Amino acid sequence: MPAFSFRLRSTDGEARLGELQTPHGIVQTPAFMPVGTQGAVKAVRHREVEEAGAEIILANTYHLLLRPGDELIARRGGLHRFIGWSRPMLTDSGGFQVYSLAERRVITDEGADFRSHLDGTRYLLTPERATDIQARLGSDIAMVLDECVAFPAARDEVAEAVARSARWAERSRRRHAELRAGSASGVAVSNPGQAQFGIVQGGVHPDLRAESADATVAVGFDGYAIGGLSVGEPIDQMYAVAGETARRLPANRPRYLMGVGTPEDLVECVARGIDMFDCVLPTRNARNGQLFTSQGRLTIKNVRYAEDDGPIDPLCGCYTCRHHSRAYLRHLYLAGEMTAAALNTLHNLSFYLDTMRRIRDAIAFRTFETFRQEFLRSP
């Protein structure tokens, strides 16, 4: 398997065109990663995710740890083999879901003690264990365990989380090195070429973000993520913090903005130097009948589409838009057919991934600023 590497191919302003090499293939950046929480992008088949243009998907460590378990997946040969996805994959650390889903959690310097939201089973997620679990899963990119704070949070609380996340980053990196060196017993490493990304926290405080970025870079990771954004702060503040943080990160490493965002967010954050994104928005909205189009958003259950024979988006070439009308999709949605979720998901994913393709083309042709203005002007 080839080792992990990142090649910056060209820039246009702060926007970057790059290429991630991973043990399971190449990812063109800027890239959007569809979310496959439990080892499947909800409502669609892997091949459809590929056809929509996805080169990498994300899976959630928290969910897979609880069910079916990292040990079982390691015995299957890792997550790629288990789920039958042969392209690149990124796993998060599980931390974010511990904060948002788990019950009775207690965070100490050691790690996060919590109970499963499914059956109450108790788990202790430490930086080392989060690293071990992801080694068993064998994703191509593993994330360090970090401490997330809610928004808004007191500055002191954010500062403490930054300090703790920095300590955890060192422990995570050390553990990752041990696993690669084969000096950690009892952990089946499913993907020896797995890369590890650090995560910058710091809320909306520029100085804490800078401190966190510097501390994380000092540890030295294969790539850097910006966490703790898109959690309720004003959008302009999100863009500003993402941009300032990105500038502080090394140019020769990929930059991943976690959990973001709308199509407009993707364009705005690429403009600020971000290379990778993930978000449940296209898939979750699809299941709720909310569709993204070149003409703006569309709520498929609206009565205005009852007799509309046109596709969701006349400029879209996805399976759904090539085969089905708004009238039919509205019917399926109102009739409660699973197929509605599937067809809508196919479309929304295609819209997101097409947007990424257009972004990459614009950077390559050094017309990104024009693209951005036009994209944001559209309804």
How many Cα neighbours within 13 Å face the side chain of 355?
27
Among 103, 109, 214, 337, binds a copy of itself (CB under 8 A): 337
Is 280 an interacting residue with respect to a copy of itself (CB under 8 A)? no
Among 181, 183, 234, 335, binds a copy of itself (CB under 8 A): 335
Is 284 an interacting residue with respect to a copy of itself (CB under 8 A)? no
Residue 205, Cβ density class (10 Å: 0-12 exposed, 13-18 middle, ≥19 buried): middle
Is 341 an interacting residue with respect to a copy of itself (CB under 8 A)? yes
Rg of the chain over all Cα atoms, to the nearest angstrom? 20
Is 327 an interacting residue with respect to a copy of itself (CB under 8 A)? yes
Q: In whole angstroms, how close is the CB of 9 to a copy of itself at the nearest point? A: 32
Name 107's Cβ contacts closer than 8 Å, sequence gap at least 6: 113, 147
Given the residues 12, 70, 92, 222, the one annotated as active site: 92
The structure tokens 């042969």 sit at 86
Q: In whole angstroms, how close is the CB of 230 to a copy of itself at the nearest point? A: 25
Is 82 an interacting residue with respect to a copy of itself (CB under 8 A)? yes
**CA 291/CA 354 separation, integer angstroms:** 14
Is 136 an interacting residue with respect to a copy of itself (CB under 8 A)? no
Number of shown-chain residues binding a copy of itself (CB under 8 A): 38
* Binding window for a copy of itself (CB under 8 A); candidates: 166-174, 252-260, 340-348, 368-376: 340-348
**Contact yes or no for 351/293 (Cβ under 8 A):** yes
Q: How far apart are the first and last CA of the chain?
A: 45
* Binding window for a copy of itself (CB under 8 A); candidates: 7-15, 78-86, 266-274, 361-369: 78-86
Name 141's Cβ contacts closer than 8 Å, sequence gap at least 6: 4, 22, 88, 89, 90, 91, 194, 195, 196, 197, 222, 223
Given the residues 12, 278, 313, 354, the one annotated as active site: 278
Is 68 an interacting residue with respect to a copy of itself (CB under 8 A)? yes
* Binding window for a copy of itself (CB under 8 A); candidates: 77-85, 100-108, 209-217, 288-296: 77-85
DSSP type of residue 44: S
Is 179 an interacting residue with respect to a copy of itself (CB under 8 A)? no
* Residue of 354, 350, 326, 351 lying closest to 340 (CA atoms): 326
**CA 223/CA 195 separation, integer angstroms:** 8
* Residue of 31, 7, 13 lying closest to 272 (CA atoms): 13
Residues recorded for the chain? 379
- Which two three-digit tokens encode residue 50? 């590929």
Residue 92: active-site member: yes
Among 76, 115, 117, 174, binds a copy of itself (CB under 8 A): 76
Residue 310, Cβ density class (10 Å: 0-12 exposed, 13-18 middle, ≥19 buried): exposed
Among 1, 338, 364, 376, binds a copy of itself (CB under 8 A): 338
Of 306 and 364, the one with the shorter C-beta distance to a copy of itself is 306
Of 71 and 369, the one with the shorter C-beta distance to a copy of itself is 71
Residue 278: active-site member: yes
Among 334, 365, 369, 374, binds a copy of itself (CB under 8 A): 334
Is 47 an interacting residue with respect to a copy of itself (CB under 8 A)? yes
Name 240's Cβ contacts closer than 8 Å, sequence gap at least 6: none
Of 89 and 363, the one with the shorter C-beta distance to a copy of itself is 89
Among 5, 7, 10, 75, binds a copy of itself (CB under 8 A): 75
Interface positions with a copy of itself (CB under 8 A): 38-47, 63, 67-68, 72, 75-76, 82-84, 306-307, 309, 319, 323-325, 327-328, 331-332, 334-335, 337-339, 341-343
Residues annotated catalytic, as ranges: 92, 278
